[in-house]
Amino acid sequence: IAGITQAPTSQILAAGRRMTLRCTQDMRHNAMYWYRQDLGLGLRLIHYSNTAGTTGKGEVPDGYSVSRANTDDFPLTLASAVPSQTSVYFCASSDSAGPDTQYFGPGTRLTVL
């Protein structure tokens, strides 16, 4: 593994189903982030983690949860998917929790029907 990986690459999901998007980084970065990107709205922060064991809410956290059990992994869970959660989801990491360069994973394209 080099950098950040995300899985799955894409997914079609029925509304009401539970879904976990996976994100793993091998750069030993302290901070990790989940964004969603929608046409015309740009990147919006969903949740973040400044260091393993801590998480926080971003701009659009409703309907999503995260955990950070270790440095490398930062899964994003949709407990009960709704069509408005159709989006492209990007995981990112940075060495520090401040205004540091963020490195992005390749994204997960999620469609909720």
Partner 1 sequence: RKEVEQDPGPFNVPEGATVAFNCTYSNSASQSFFWYRQDCRKEPKLLMSVYSSGNEDGRFTAQLNRASQYISLLIRDSKLSDSATYLCVVNSYSGNTPLVFGKGTRLSVIA
Toward partner 1, which CB reaches closer, 2 or 14? Answer: 2
Rounded to a whole number of angstroms, the minimum distance from the CB of residue 16 to partner 1 is: 28
**CA–CA gap between residue 38 and residue 78 (Å, rounded):** 17
Toward partner 1, which CB reaches closer, 21 or 105? Answer: 105
Rounded to a whole number of angstroms, the minimum distance from the CB of residue 70 to partner 1 is: 21
Give residues with Cβ within 8 angstroms of 16, minimum separation 6: 80, 81
Rounded to a whole number of angstroms, the minimum distance from the CB of residue 60 to partner 1 is: 11
**CA–CA gap between residue 71 and residue 53 (Å, rounded):** 8
| Contact positions vs partner 1 (CB under 8 A) | 31, 33, 40-43, 45, 48, 56-59, 90, 94, 97-107
Distance of CA 102 to the CA centre of its chain: 13
- Helix/strand/coil percent split, the chain, to 5: 5, 50, 50
Toward partner 1, which CB reaches closer, 54 or 80? Answer: 54
